[in-house]
Each structure stands twice: as structure tokens, then as C-alpha cells.
Amino acid sequence: MLAYRIDPLPKTVLELCCLVQSCGLSLLKAFESLAKDQPFMDHCIEINRLEEAADQLVRAAVADLFQDEKDPIRIIKLKETYEFLEQTTDYCEDVANALQNVQVKNS
């Protein structure tokens, strides 16, 4: 984010950062539940929901970007930033899926 010097930060970046933070918190809760031998599937489901929300947000943001933004360098910077943040939610979902597989294999 610092390297791209995006100023001001678009609302979409902030929304994606909130989704990434929520995914991280849900992962933390899932691991805490797993450590205490408590149910954690609700946290995994929440991560899946957050990842889908990030997907939808990025699709709409990229479409708006190509329609509204005239500066090609800013388009590249923002598109890469959006995709990086969305990819982070994908990685969180991958961890949640791995946790679900652990539960299924140990059932």
C-alpha cells in the first residue's frame, strides 16, 4: 500500500481491509475453539461468508474502476490492491476449509 502511494484510499479498500480483519478474527476464534475442543464450524462458515462478500465487492469495484477512472496508472494500482486484499480472504477461506477437513477426518 505504501509503495503504490494511493491517496486518498478509496472506500472499497477500507471495506476490504475490514473484511480481511473480520476473517482473521474468525480464524482466531476457530483456532481457540479447536484448542478447547469446542465447535468451530460457525467460525468457518462466517469466513466463507466474508470471502464471498469480498469477491462481490471486488467484482463491483473493478467494474466501477474501469468505467469511472480515467488515469490508467491509478487503475492498475487500485485493481492490484483490490485483488491482493481479496486474495487474502481466499487464503483465510483455505485455512477454514482445512480446519473443516480436520473435523471431518476426526469424526
Residues 6 or more apart whose CB falls under 8 angstroms from that of 17 comprise 85
Residues 6 or more apart whose CB falls under 8 angstroms from that of 94 comprise none
Residues 6 or more apart whose CB falls under 8 angstroms from that of 83 comprise 58
Domains of the chain: 1-15+40-107 (1.20.58.220)
Provide the 8-state DSSP code for 9: P
* Cβ neighbours of 68 (radius 10 Å): 8
CA-to-CA distance for 96 and 93, rounded, in angstroms?
A: 5
State pLDDT tens for residues 50-84: 999 999 999 999 999 999 999 999 999 999 999 99
Kind and range of the H or E run holding 19: helix 11-35
Confidence band for 107, pLDDT divided at 50, 70 and 90: low
- Is the pTM above the cut of 0.85? yes
